[in-house]
Structure 1
């Protein structure tokens, strides 16, 4: 119940230590790191252990430790924290093996390259390393302890609006409950594949939802296993439909990482790629993934006033519409490997009526990049087709297009006549017309190709 957590805040706020200093110079003897308490020591402890690591542009390569000690009332200060700057709070999730998350440094460095901010890393590894159901029982207590620190920092000049929580998996729900404790006044929460088990059917009070901050976004990459399948923010990015990610192994003989958590952790790696600015990763509002792939959702006019939301640090993900949407599902495609950047190519076909169903393979080529292959099935009762594909290069850098009439599996497919094939990039860029080829005739198993002469 809510009163229980409010009571805990009052108690803990009495003994939280100050995490900022004014004139004191920080001179750490060594860099701070995640807690190295052994599992047995933690089991014998009387309270949940949570500590905070601080990284700024002044100590980007050597974390400083924030501490709170309720028993001895000791204080440790750091001069690195600047209350006039925004603060990014990174919250990891469930750690099945009790190991520290290896990705934290990379995410922190990417944030610091993009903005001059305070980066606070929440270390609750040993509270996150038991059986999953037991960890879920403790996540609210972690949120309470974080809220105590945030409350203390506001007394030193920080504002609630200046805090941006980035929560991975279960850490997304920890972040959401911190937002609940502050009545949704935190500036922003980014959930990176928020955990699904034990949360999909939970009350919004008990999980991340759009009321937890002024702006809440989520990136979904494993909604059929470890991630949550329902929208939980103002805008929810479903990458490749939110489930099977390109490049993640599905074979039973794949590595444990590739088979178990590749999809789940892809949200984090795509987010880091977006921070590094490799290319814009934008989403398109649509009622479902199949409709998106069918080319039925190629603009952002209705939901977002023409500006598509973008993964990264743009204010409100670049959304300019007011009021903000709620639980708006947007879809985008990515490539199989970093930097995961994909340009969305709309392929439109007009086929002369067929006597039998046909199968064709369409290949888009850009020099120096992997080919984009599409397998299309053509039916006797339809002549027009649309599909959306992910290509590593923009439209003006597509060098050639190839078609192969692969034919039916159990019968010999005849020739196919395409009245036209057009490819265009979405959202459409002003001045960039579709690339179209007309009157194409291909026989079974005979490749047809066309070269484009384009200059970006």
Structure 2
């Protein structure tokens, strides 16, 4: 950097603190003309937004610079997640956090109008970066977090710099008017050195198609736990799934002890069936973690192809699910079809339950079957396990599942011991409780 550039200062019209543009539904009805404002937050004044002049202001690009770009605002309301995200980012490291406020232009009843403004916003951001970074610093330190339409804005900026921006996170990129578009008309993995995407509403306001180097599909990408499933819930019915993506990202900053790992798989159905629980073939350092730290897996993508990543969540913060794999070897003479419910009990008597997604599996003699079990609570020490086998038949004979070996493997915490039980008989619809033992090394 030149001496002059190191002495860059923030050019401010005054010392006032500025906030996000305050609009209401009346403004939306009248209509708003596009106006882009950049609000800078730093550790020096975390609660005070400095209004940057797009033509004159300069920033210290020796710091990491994160742009937060919101999406469509059909009521003109203030994004409820915006302040929390900016504060959590600043708590991570000394950086520039710039909120891209284009509420005037996003607040309209006409979604196509807001969508058409995305490229115009991108041009203004490109001009700002040209003045501040190009020729003075590196685009490696520029990171854009784009929510809904904001994800495509980030993509358009990245395209203008031929993908040299350090990172883009697409937070449930908008689907309407962007689905099945060529990559230069939407966010794409070529728009930055690393692009990670979170999908939570693929059958609604989001987009299903992969757009990043890594694409995270929460609960398959749709129908998030805790979100209403009927239109009578009002606004929440339409926005809850879509908005869950930003809350998942915020959770990665707010609750670092809850690292949500995701697993590469050909489809969500295969993932539910327990067919995908290993990351070694694609990610030598382990399964990628959703959110802010996802870029730590960037180096894994250079030499090997990647797949879409799937994971489950609970219905509320911190959203963590504890995964186990239940391996079962049976010795019934004839195949049995059914599913298994499992309960775990710790020393204090607390219980957590999983129902294996109610996916029927075929149990054949001497053939090991893998079942994916998920729990809301994490028990470091398990004192008892309960299993219940069911075929789903209301009428007819009751069957038995004769088990040679049951093994419970912690997937979320792989360093923990595997738990086993040998020679077990499950009568249909009858819960069997037992005390597990640490598994022996057996060859089956």
Question: Does the 8 Å contact 1:193/1:218 carry over to 2?
Answer: yes
1:371 positional shift: 3.3
* Contact 2:282–2:305 (8 Å) recurs in 1: no
Using a 3 Å threshold, how does the CA distance of structure 1 residues 306 and 137 change in structure 2: closer, same or farther?
same
Q: Distance in 2 between matches of 1:253 and 1:265?
A: 18
Number of the residue aligned with 1:351: 330
Q: Normalised by the size of structure 1, how large is the TM-score?
A: 0.83
- Name 2:403's counterpart in structure 1: 418
Q: Following the alignment from structure 1 to structure 2, what is the Cα–Cα distance between the partners of residues 392 and 188?
A: 32
1:215 counterpart = 2:194: yes
Q: Within 5 Å, give how 1:102-181 maps onto structure 2.
A: 102-130=80-108, 131-154=110-133, 157-181=136-160
Counterpart-to-counterpart distance in 1, 2:17 and 2:304: 42
CA distance in 1 between counterparts of 2:401 and 2:125 reads: 64
Shift of 1:100: 1.9
> Are the aligned partners of 1:305 and 1:320 in contact in 2 as well (CA < 8 Å)?
no
Q: What do the CA deviations read for 1:148-168 (whole angstroms, capped 9, x no partner)?
A: 111122169442111100001
Residues 159-308 of structure 1: pairs in structure 2 closer than 5 A: 159-257=138-236, 259-276=237-254, 277-308=256-287
Distance in 2, matches of 1:138 and 1:128, equals 8
What is the number of residues matched between the two proteins? 425
Distance 1:25 1:202 in 2: 40
* Distance in 2 between residues matched to 1:369 and 1:168, nearest whole Å: 38
CA distance in 2, matches of 1:290, 1:380: 19
2: CA distance, partners of 1:42 / 1:33: 22
Deviation larger for 162-171 or 24-33: 24-33
Q: 1:380 to 1:401 in 2, by over 3 A?
A: closer
8 Å Cα contact 2:22-2:76 kept in structure 1 = no
**TM-score, with structure 2 as normaliser:** 0.85
Instruction: Output aligned runs, 1:334-373, within 5 Å.
Output: 334-353=313-332, 357-365=337-345, 371-373=353-355
- The DSSP-based 3-state class of the residue aligned with 2:233 is coil
> 2:48 corresponds to which residue?
62
Name the structure 2 match of 1:321: 300
- The 5-angstrom pairing of residues 75-86 of structure 1 reads 75=56, 81-86=59-64
SS in structure 1 at match of 2:309: strand
Q: 1:357–1:345: structure 2 CA closer, same or farther, 3 Å change rule?
A: closer
> What whole-Å deviation, never above 9, does each CA across 1:200-232 have from its counterpart, x for those lacking one?
211100100011011111011111211111110
CA RMSD after TM alignment: 3.1
Match of 2:430 in 1: 446
Alpha-carbon separation, structure 1, partners of 2:423 and 2:359: 18
Tell me, in whole angstroms, the C-alpha distance in 2 between the residues paired with 1:321 and 1:169. Answer: 27
Gaps of 5+ in 1: 1-19, 70-74
Output aligned runs, 1:394-405, within 5 Å.
Answer: 394=378, 396-405=380-389
Q: Structure 2: how far apart are the matches of 1:427 and 1:325?
A: 24
For the residues of structure 2 that align with 1:447 and 1:424, how far apart are their CA atoms?
21
How far off its partner does 1:292 sit? 1.9
1:31 alignment partner in structure 2: 17
